[in-house]
Amino acid sequence: MSKKDDEKNQSGYVLGTELDESGSDDTITALVAEDHGHEIKLRTMSWQKTACLLAGDQVCLAIMAQSWSLSVLGWVPGIITMVLSGIIFWITSITMHKYIMKNPQIKDICDFGYYIFGKNRAAYVFSAFMLLANNILLIGFHILTGSKVLNTLSGHSLCTAVFSVIVTLMGIVVSAPRTLQHVSFMSMFSSACMGIAILLFLIFAGIEKAPLYGYKGDYPTDGPVRTYAFPLPGTTWVACMNAVLNITFLWVPQILFPTFIAEMERPQDFPKALAVLAAISTILFIVPPAIGFRYLGQYTTAPAFGSLGVVSYKKASFGFVIVPTLIIGAIYANVTAKLVYTLTMGKSRHAHSNTFIGWGVWGLIMIGIWMLGFIFSEVVPSMGDFLSLLSAAFDSFFGYIFFAVAYWQLYRGRLFNGMGRVAMTVAHAFIMAVGLFILGPGLYAAVEAIIADYSGSVTPAFTCANAAL
């Protein structure tokens, strides 16, 4: 037996910088063949369709909150945080892909947690709980966003709770497909609409005379529009930390990646789709927010559409957000429903066939997920602060800690073999430290912000109050 085989038998992993491709390729071939024998085929996406799905998930409203983060942090800390988050995103995503290629039976982030922690059942349950909590809260955020869009466009023609019901019903319909390949087609349309919304915002912000208002009052209460290199005097640590969490939230989509990879016909090609996403993200996550901060300065709101001074400008740009709101909500609902559906149906024929029971259970699960999201959208005082809570509580694991552990599992025993490996080991140690920092001080800052919300004027649940920007 070779040394490499001996290491594999002892630890369960092939150690070193090179992957043992033959075994994993055979496993992937077998998994694809098994899937293609089913009536409902999941492993069908090409890397191009996966790239569309990734872009559809990432080209989202959260981009329009990044100008606010810059207004809190200033140019230097803000841009450094954005660039550093992008670098960490690439490193952790590649580590995830390498680990899944060695364990191609992984179907979602719950399986990923189960394997990296030594096939620990408690790790699976923990990961499943966090996946459900994270995704359902995000669906609630998208329902809230949808109601804001409809309020803004209609001039609050209906009760806000009614608009939330309408968005929930539309979300259930859009989420009906059981395969991500079908959702990927919608994702292209979603990305295009969000791109138009961003472009219109940038044009309107540039041509209008002054913004409408900011969190410190109507223009020009806080003086002329200005930008600055560092946080303004009086900016609290909690505000800075929430601005950082707002940035890291946008750069941590990996909770969905294992599910996407599991539905690719050639998961080996995922890095190609990832490269497309990285290029798009680098441009959209930095350039539009920087331009928005340049024209809105200290009057920037989150989302930045709210700072536009001309109502028609606000409606024209913000209106396009309804499409990505529904489709991104559908992506999160699909991933969430697949976990519940798999746990419910197991390996029965209904799990992968067009049966009445199969589709009936799928429909009930989807309705339940969107209804829970609707409830969350109605009862929380500030979804912005809850997004910071999501980033601290969940993204600390799904964006950082999990991948530092996966890296150690991939290369344990050879963490310092060569300068390149040493550099990557140091990088993943830093990633672990960042994850722990976000989980500790970051979680504290998010909770403090939520406590402040509840101590103030809390919007009543299921309100009819105007939620327009």
**Considering the chain, what percentage of its residues have pLDDT values greater than 90?**
68
Residue 10 lies in a domain: no
What separation in angstroms does the CA of 229 have from each of 4, 81, 250, 286, 293?
A: 52, 13, 22, 16, 12
Note the pLDDT tens digit of each residue in 342-381: 899 887 887 788 899 999 999 999 999 999 999 988 877 5
Q: Is the pLDDT of residue 437 over 60?
A: yes
Q: Are 267 and 101 in contact (CB under 8 A)?
A: yes
Amino acid identity, position 249 = F
Residue 207 lies in a domain: yes
Residue 396 lies in a domain: yes
Tell me the average pLDDT across 204-218.
92
Residue 342 lies in a domain: yes
CA–CA dist 351, 361 (Å, integer): 10
Note the pLDDT tens digit of each residue in 64-112: 999 999 999 999 999 999 999 999 999 999 999 999 999 999 999 999 9
CA–CA dist 46, 44 (Å, integer): 7
CA–CA dist 163, 112 (Å, integer): 37
Q: Is the pLDDT of residue 313 over 60?
A: yes
Query: pLDDT tier at 456 (50, 70, 90 boundaries)?
Result: low
**Considering the chain, what percentage of its residues have pLDDT values greater than 70?**
92
Residue 180 lies in a domain: yes
Q: Name the residue range of residue 91's domain.
A: 43-455
Note the pLDDT tens digit of each residue in 382-419: 666 666 777 788 889 999 999 999 999 999 999 999 99
Domain containing residue 66: CATH number: 1.20.1740.10
Tell me the average pLDDT across 451-462.
68
Residue 9 lies in a domain: no
Note the pLDDT tens digit of each residue in 165-184: 999 999 999 999 888 888 88
Tally of domains within the chain: 1
CA–CA dist 243, 380 (Å, integer): 20
Quickly tell me which residue has 């960490």 as its tokens.
88
CA–CA dist 182, 325 (Å, integer): 17
Residue 364 lies in a domain: yes
What separation in angstroms does the CA of 403 have from each of 7, 271, 427, 435?
A: 22, 16, 11, 10
Mean model confidence pLDDT for the chain: 89
Note the pLDDT tens digit of each residue in 132-164: 999 998 999 899 999 999 999 998 888 888 999
Residue 23 lies in a domain: no
What separation in angstroms does the CA of 53 have from each of 101, 297, 325?
A: 20, 33, 14
Give the pLDDT of residue 447.
84
